[in-house]
Structure 1
Amino acid sequence: MTEEFRFLGVAADLAASLKERGIQAPFPIQTLTIPDGLAGRDVCGKAKTGSGKTLAFGLPMVENLSHADSHWVRGLILVPTRELAVQVAKELRPLARCRQLDLAPVYGGAPIEAQIEKIEAGLDIIVATPGRLIDLIDRKALSVAKLEIVVVDEADRMADMGFLPQVEWILRHVESRHQTLLFSATLDGAVDALVRRYQSDPVRHEVQSKQVTVDEMQHRFVAVHEMDKVKVAAAIIRASNRALVFSATRHGCDRLSRKLKSENVRAEPIHGDLRQKAREHSLARFASGQIQALVATDVAARGLHIDDVDVVIHFDPPPDHKTYIHRSGRTARAGETGMAVTLSLWNEELEVKRLQRRLSLDVPIVEMFSNDDRLDALDRWDPVAEAV
């Protein structure tokens, strides 16, 4: 049913390319924004991660750039993380090939010399993290002065990670008249300021999304003992298909991964100190089911599109309720009900109870040891009913 994309104004060859990949019908954010993007309007889209934003900005970019013959960077997609840069580039590359456009990601953690070689060989579109892009501009490896289309993706996460000053620096250096497409899960505060400063009469579209918190997932809070904590986590992971485990620090990720392996759990870490190839390898193994658990820091997990995560384990309790929602939301996607499990040591109980109050969660913290049968089926055990 490529007619649905054709109805939005997407060209036949691009619609056919989507069909070859099994993409038949547009997501709501695509239906709303693609016609305005194709018309050359500045677009401000409000939608969460995983809502189909990449094609919402990628299709207009490929279509609107395809009529130029010059082989220099004319399209820029700014993203907050290297993983997202790789994922966006992978999703858009088949469309770019339809129009003989060369596209590549550039990000920190990879050799800058190789990226400069790609740019010098000729690129039409780059998908970049702000820091690496500024490095390339400072080295005069590329210029953003003559860009025709700029995309700012996940603007709210850019703000959370402290990248907005870099994003603004880049946008100030775009001298040409250009189209700007901005997508974000929230459009208030610093993101709203970005819209007002750098977009021209943008058309605004919003996809209403249900709150991914109490209503769409199950929550368990487990009191554990220090010496038994890893074993409890291992028991939960073994009972799941795919688990995402959050640790507060990079060192903690490495240490926890090693300890889980000693419990015969296939786990690998993902954090900023790892080489990009190692991160991509771990992600691929996790997506394919070769490993049971990915142990991540909050920053490393941002922007990752990981499907079919049935349990999120807060091995280290999150610092605030927003982080809890961001972490836990990865287990309740596409209408599926997931499980969020928070492990709490005795000296973390007050902190966890404060977190529960902010989330309006009235769920008891239940003490468990690693040999507790309830860990094998947390979804079938109701701590609230048991407490009555």
Structure 2
Amino acid sequence: MTFDDLNLNTPLRTALEELGYKTPTTIQEKVFSIVMSGRDVCGIAQTGTGKTLAYLLPCLRQWKFSKDRSPQILIIVPTRELVAQVVETVKSLTTYMSLVVVGVYGGVNINTQQAEVLKGLDVLVATPGRLYDLAMNGAFKTKMIKKLVIDEVDEMLNLGFRTQLKNILDFLPPKRQNLLFSATMTEDV
């Protein structure tokens, strides 16, 4: 199987070619059609197997431009380093798309991040704590969220984010697609 077999749009195919990606990994191949069908996913794969592209490719393939720039895709990750990594991956995949991605995390001035979120965006990548703070401040509009990705859900639970995740889920529209990804399958996950 190649990325051409996934029926990606031209901007995504071109970006993948320029990034040197030729064939999808096992997790990418297995998850793509399930996400495209609208079903929820719990993807388990070891670190380094391409989980990030496994959820980004179908999410970005289904993304539709919206003038109001409310986030359609919400990606929650456990650390600021992972926020930066996912934001960079989204940017590299959407070089030929008119999409705005913003990453937010704790440890920096919330006002700067809040202003950036209020400007409008399509994809929000966030740590649970900062996302919850932005939601409580009213800076984060959730009504247009179509896809919720929780990456490294096992790590988030290990770090004690269970309560924050539950609170965040209460803010989100009930009609959405949920994509959970983890390196390990524990009872908590």
Q: Same fold (TM over 0.5)?
A: yes
| Matched residue, 1:55 | 53
Q: Runs of at least 4 residues of structure 1 off by over 3 A?
A: 67-70
Change (3 A) 1:148 1:88: same
Higher RCO (CA-CA < 8 Å; seq separation 6+):
2
Structure 1 CA distance, aligned partners of 2:67 and 2:96?
A: 14
Larger Cα-atom Rg: 1
| Match of residue 121 from structure 2 | 123
1:136 paired with 2:103, answer: no
1:105/1:128 contact within 8 Å kept: yes
Q: Taking structure 1 as the reference length, what is the TM-score of the superposition? A: 0.47
Q: 2:183 aligns with which of 182, 185, 194?
A: 185
Deviation at 1:69, TM superposition (A): 4.2
What are the within-5 Å matches in structure 2 for residues 300-319 of structure 1?
Answer: none
C-alpha contact (below 8 Å) 1:145/1:176 kept by paired residues: no
The equivalent of 2:19 in structure 1 is: 21
Q: Unpaired segments of 5 or more residues in structure 2?
A: none
Q: Is contact 1:96–1:102 with CA below 8 Å preserved after alignment?
A: no
Counterpart residue identity of residue 106, structure 2: G
State the number of aligned residues: 189
> Which of residues 23, 43, 50 is equivalent to 1:45?
43
Q: How does 1:1-388 map to 2 (within 5 A)?
A: 4-191=2-189
Q: 1:78-120: CA deviations, max 9, x gaps?
A: 0000000000110111223433110011000122111112112
Normalising by structure 2, what TM-score?
A: 0.93
The secondary structure found in structure 2 opposite 1:23 is coil
Aligned mates of 1:171, 1:47 — CA distance in 2? 24
Q: Aligned residues: percent identity?
A: 39
Would you say the 8 A contact 2:44–2:181 is kept in 1? yes
Which amino acid letter does the alignment assign opposite residue 37 of structure 1? V
- Name stretches of at least 5 consecutive residues in structure 1 with no aligned partner: 192-388
Offset at residue 63 of structure 1 (A): 1.5
Deviation at 1:67, TM superposition (A): 4.8
Kept after mapping to 2: 8 A contact 1:9/1:38: no
Distance across 2 between alignment mates of 1:131 and 1:97: 29
Range moving further from structure 2, 94-103 or 113-122: 94-103
Give the aligned CA root-mean-square deviation in angstroms: 1.6
Distance 1:77 1:71, change over 3 A: same
